[in-house]
Structure 1
Amino acid sequence: MLKKYITPLVLVLLFSCGEEKTDKNLHISGYIKGLKKGTLYIQHIKEGALVALDTIKIDGDSHFTSDLTIKTPEMFYLFLDRGVSNSIDNNLPFFVEPGHLNIESSLEFFTADAKISGSKNQELYDEYKTVVSRYVDRNLELVKQRFDALKAKEETSVIKIEEEQKRIVMQKYLYTTNFAVNHGAYDVAPYVALAEIPDINLKYLDTIEKSLTPKVAHALYGTKLHELIAERKKTEKK
C-alpha cells in the first residue's frame, strides 16, 4: 500500500529534476529566404554602441531561433553578415517584448521584405512608420525641387520650397506627438519621442511623459525620456 503512494511521488520528483529551468522570457524564431550561409547577430544599444546579445551561424538551414532574457520592451537589431556582400541592407530593427516573436524576410530584400509578428509594440511601430514615410517621401521630393530651383537661380521658388519643407517637418513632429500620447500604455510611445523628436518644444515632451502609464514611465524608454526632459530643462534655463 505504501509503495502505491511512493511511486507517483518519486516520478514527480524525478520529472521536476529533469526539467530544464530557464529564466529566458523572449523566444525569437525566424526564417530568411535564400540565406544558406552567413551569420546573424541579435543586437541592442548599450551605452551608445551596438552590442551583440546572440550570434547565430547559418549553414544550409535558413531557419533560426534565439532565447533571451529581457527586463523591458526594447528596440533590438537583427544584423545580417552575408559574408560575400557589402550590402547596406543588413540591419533590421525590431521591437521586442516578453513572449514569442517571429521574423520572416529574404536575403535579397532583407529589411524591405521583413514581416515581424508577436509584438504589439512592433505592430504599433509599423503603423507609425507607414505614416511617417509619407512625410519623408514628400521631403525628398522637395529636396530635389529645391536643388533644381537653386540651379535655375529661382529665388522665389527656393523660398516657397523651404517653407513647405518646414511645414512638412512640423506635421511629422505633431503626428509623432499625437501618436505617442495616444499610445502611452506601450513602450513605443517614449521610444518614438526619443528617436524622432528629442528637440521638439519641451511642452510637447512633457505632454507625452504625462500620458505614459506608470509601467511604461518606469521602463527603459520612459526613464530615458524623463532624463532627457530633465536635462533639457536644466540646460535651457541657462
Structure 2
Amino acid sequence: MIVKGQIKGLKKGTLYLQKMKDTLLVPVDSIALLGDDKFILTDNVDSPIMYYLTFDGNTKDKHLMFFGEKGEITINDNIEEFGFNPEIKGSKNQEIMNKFREMDDKFKNQRLDFIKKEFEARQAKDDELLKQLETDYNKMIRRRFLFSTNFAITNADSEAAPYIALSELYDANIQLLDTINNSLTDKVKNSEYGKRLQKFVDKIKTIEK
C-alpha cells in the first residue's frame, strides 16, 4: 500500500502511519516534513484494515482514520481541520465507510437532539414527556441497529461490513451480528475483520448458552 497526499499548512513535524496491533497503535512508517506538506508513506497490507495518520504519533491531539488496502491511496487534508473531512481516493472500503458515516451522522444528530429534549424535560419535571422521549429514543436506537445491519449485508463483499459490525453493533442482538456474519463472502470471512467477527459471534454464543 502506498499512501500519498498533502496536508495543507503542515510546515514542520513528523507524520506517522499507524495501525492497531492487539490493543495498541503501532507505527509502520513515518516522514519528517520540513517546509513541504506533501508526503508518501507505505506498508505491506495482508488484509484491508483501519489505519491512522497522526502527528508525532499522538492520536489524542488530532488523527485521521482511513481504510487501508493494497494499491495507491491519495489523502488530502489541511492542518486546521485535520481528520474532520479529508479527501480520500483509491480505497474501495473507505468509499463504503464514507457512505455509512453519511447516514449514521443523521442518527448521531438525532441522539444529540434527544439529549437536549431530555435535559429540558428534566428541568421542567415533565415525567410524561420523559417517558415518551425514552420510548422514542429506544425506537431510534433499533432503527440505527437495523440500518447498520442492512448496510453491512448489502456490502457483504467488502471488509467494511465486518468492521461496521464490530465497531457499531458490538452491543446489538446476536441475531443481527450472526446475520451479517453469515452473509459475508468467503474472501471477507477470511479477512482480518471477518475472522474477528466470527470469533466475536462465537464468544457471545458460548456465553449465552
- Band the TM-score falls in, shorter-chain normalisation: over 0.9
- Equivalent position amino acid for 1:168 in 2: M
1:39 aligns with 2:36: no
Give the root-mean-square deviation of aligned CA atoms.
1.6
Cα contact 2:12–2:33 (8 A) shared by 1: yes
Cα contact 1:37–1:82 (8 A) shared by 2: no
Cα contact 2:8–2:77 (8 A) shared by 1: yes
TM-score normalised to the size of structure 2?
0.96
> Residue 57 of structure 1 aligns to a residue in which SS?
strand
- Equivalent position amino acid for 1:70 in 2: V
1:73 to 48, 70, 88: 48
Q: Which residue of 2 aligns with 1:23?
A: none
Cα contact 1:40–1:55 (8 A) shared by 2: yes
Deviates more, 1:160-169 or 1:127-136: 160-169
Instruction: Give the count of matched residue pairs.
Output: 209
C-alpha separation in 1, matches of 2:156 and 2:109: 27
Deviation at 1:87, TM superposition (A): 7.9
Alpha-carbon deviations, 1:20-46, whole Å to 9, x = none? xxxxxx111010011101121111111
1:150 aligns with 2:139: no
Deviation at 1:148, TM superposition (A): 1.1
- Equivalent position amino acid for 2:37 in 1: S
- Equivalent position amino acid for 1:125 in 2: M
Deviation at 1:203, TM superposition (A): 1.4
2:148 to 150, 171, 176: 176
> Residue 66 of structure 1 aligns to a residue in which SS?
strand
Deviation at 1:81, TM superposition (A): 3.9
Q: Which residue of 2 aligns with 1:3?
A: none
1:119 aligns with 2:91: yes
C-alpha separation in 1, matches of 2:121 and 2:178: 39
Alpha-carbon deviations, 1:112-163, whole Å to 9, x = none? 2311010110000000000000000111011011011111111111111111
Equivalences for residues 22-61 of structure 1 within 5 A: 26-61=1-36
Q: What residue ranges of structure 1 are gaps of 5+ in the alignment?
A: 1-25
Identity across matched positions, percent: 36
Deviates more, 1:137-146 or 1:201-210: 201-210
Alpha-carbon deviations, 1:173-206, whole Å to 9, x = none? 1011001101111100000000000121111111
C-alpha separation in 1, matches of 2:3 and 2:122: 50
| Larger Rg belongs to | 1
TM-score normalised to the size of structure 1?
0.84
C-alpha separation in 1, matches of 2:48 and 2:193: 9
Cα contact 2:74–2:89 (8 A) shared by 1: yes
C-alpha separation in 2, matches of 1:185 and 1:196: 18
C-alpha separation in 2, matches of 1:63 and 1:164: 48
Q: Which residue of 2 aligns with 1:103?
A: 75
Q: Which residue of 1 aligns with 2:66?
A: 94
Alpha-carbon deviations, 1:42-81, whole Å to 9, x = none? 1111111111111221110000001210100001111124
C-alpha separation in 2, matches of 1:236 and 1:38: 49
Cα contact 1:73–1:96 (8 A) shared by 2: yes
Deviates more, 1:90-99 or 1:38-47: 38-47
Deviation at 1:82, TM superposition (A): 9.9
- Equivalent position amino acid for 1:151 in 2: Q
